[in-house]
Amino acid sequence: MMRFWKIGGLLCLAACAHGSEAPPPTERPRETAHYTVTIFDNFGGARVRVCLEPATMLELVPIDDSASGQLRGAWSDGTPLDTTNGRIRLQQASGTPCVDYETRFGRSWFRARGSSAVVLSQTQWLWRPDPFPRELDATVRFILPAGGQVSLPWPQSHALYFPDASAFFTDTYGVFGSFDRQAFSVGGTSVVVARLGDQPSDDEVRRWLGRAVRTVASVDDRFPRDRLHFVLVPVDSPAEQVAFGMLRRGGGSSILLLPSLDATVSQLEADWVAIHELSHLWLPRLYSEGRWLSEGIATYLQEVLRARCGLQSADRAWTRLREGFARGRRSGTGRALASESRNMNRTGAYHRVYWAGAAFAFEADVRLRQSSRGEMTLLAALGRAQRTSGAEARLVSASVFLEALEEASGAGFIEELGKRYAARSSFPDTTFMDLPEYRDVRAQIMESAEGACGISAESSR
């Protein structure tokens, strides 16, 4: 067989020698999409021109179907295009690589008192090529009303933004209008803050958010992202220091925070919301049935890290955990935890989902510390797992993350423990946390780590 193959190869070479020389292989050019976004004077909509090369895409489609109704029309060389169901059908025969379309923005997510700026998702003005290329070089340039500016979590050079593929599939927070914008660095992480209104001050913002980043970095002596984008919308909230927070990952990590107008910088530093949202970045994005895991670990970290970094006492952290477990036990609809997670926006079972997930994190941390005699912790396992997964914005299942966490920890029980929690229809038993035999491990969990509550010279990843 081998001999026949060799003879066949020689005959082929001889035959080819008498033919014309084959052209050298050429690399397929990368596909590009260049967007120019003209924001209307009232910040109520945009006219967008996108130029696609090569023009092989069949449609431009909304990132989120809910934005379909905001499309007001699309044109190629002035000729109207079909926009049925919010999808722009491209005319391949025309050969024109540029398309214009117009959208009207929905209501701004949040507005600050006395501010004209608006907080919008890019889903309201960014339509993506379909089919989406395996590799796409995209740029976005904005034309803004006089005195207006824009802030997004995407890499930027001069007037151009460079969104990656995740920006075309996952929403993020963008700010348009007149607002305060500041930039600083914490360790190896570049931080941009867009603040609507004049409180807290620039110095207070830097102190508050810098401390929060350093606290979350204490998980692994580094922060898990190179870039962070914060949007601050001050609100009247006398009862809470930060009324609300949420993370979005479309093209980069953007965190919306609603600090109280009455909060002092010391109160903002001690608050849990910013640390909770930043803690999510140690995990990948999980499907809705796995939110008990992502929200639970972030809830556990918000208490443990603040105690370790001196933002609350260990006793206060344990009290908050006990109270949270009690709230979780009183909440819920009797579904299995995975199902409860999937439906919690409809049922309101947030306490059950968050605090049952925190109970998992606590039990996993205790068992890791006991089985390794203190050599392995949940924090160390999270750091190792994140180094492997990187900054991926794509969704993964809870089982995939649990497998990564088990491999990172070297323990043999994480996956099975997670499966049992996901299947539970009752709140887990957490009373063991107060038994005398767990006194030492409780002390270890909340042990002061002031030296680790900064960031090493290593670049964040």
pLDDT tens string 342-375: 999 999 999 999 999 999 999 999 999 999 999 9
**Sequence ranges of the domains in the chain:** 32-177, 180-282, 285-450
Over residues 201-241, the pLDDT tens digits come to 999 999 999 999 999 999 999 999 999 999 999 999 889 99
DSSP classification of residue 165: G
The Cα 337–Cα 214 span in angstroms is: 32
pLDDT at 114 over 80: no
The Cα 126–Cα 85 span in angstroms is: 16
The half-sphere exposure of 377 on its side-chain side, counting CA atoms within 13 A, is: 15
User: What is the second-level CATH architecture of the domain 32-177?
Assistant: Sandwich (2.60)
4 or 245, higher pLDDT: 245
SS (H, E, C) 212-263: HHHHHHCCCCCCCCCEEEEEECCECCCCCCEEEEEEECCCCCEEEEEEECCC
Mean of the pLDDT values across residues 118-140?
A: 94
The Cα 169–Cα 351 span in angstroms is: 29
Provide the residue count of the chain. Answer: 461
In terms of C-beta density within 10 A (0-12 exposed, 13-18 middle, 19 or more buried), how is residue 417 classed?
middle
Rounded to two decimals, what is the model's pTM?
0.90
The half-sphere exposure of 111 on its side-chain side, counting CA atoms within 13 A, is: 11
Structure tokens at 164: 């990656």
Enumerate the H helices of 280-313 as residue ranges. Answer: 291-308
Amino acid at 363: E
Contact residues for 107 (Cβ-Cβ < 8 A; gap 6+): none
DSSP classification of residue 448: -
Structure tokens at 206: 């830097």
The Cα 138–Cα 392 span in angstroms is: 18
Give the containing element (helix H, strand E) for 94.
Answer: none
pLDDT at 53: 87
Over residues 256-294, the pLDDT tens digits come to 999 999 999 999 999 999 999 999 999 999 999 999 999
Q: Which fold has domain 180-282?
A: Neutral Protease; domain 2 (1.10.390)
Nearest residue to 209 via CA among 118, 273, 119: 273
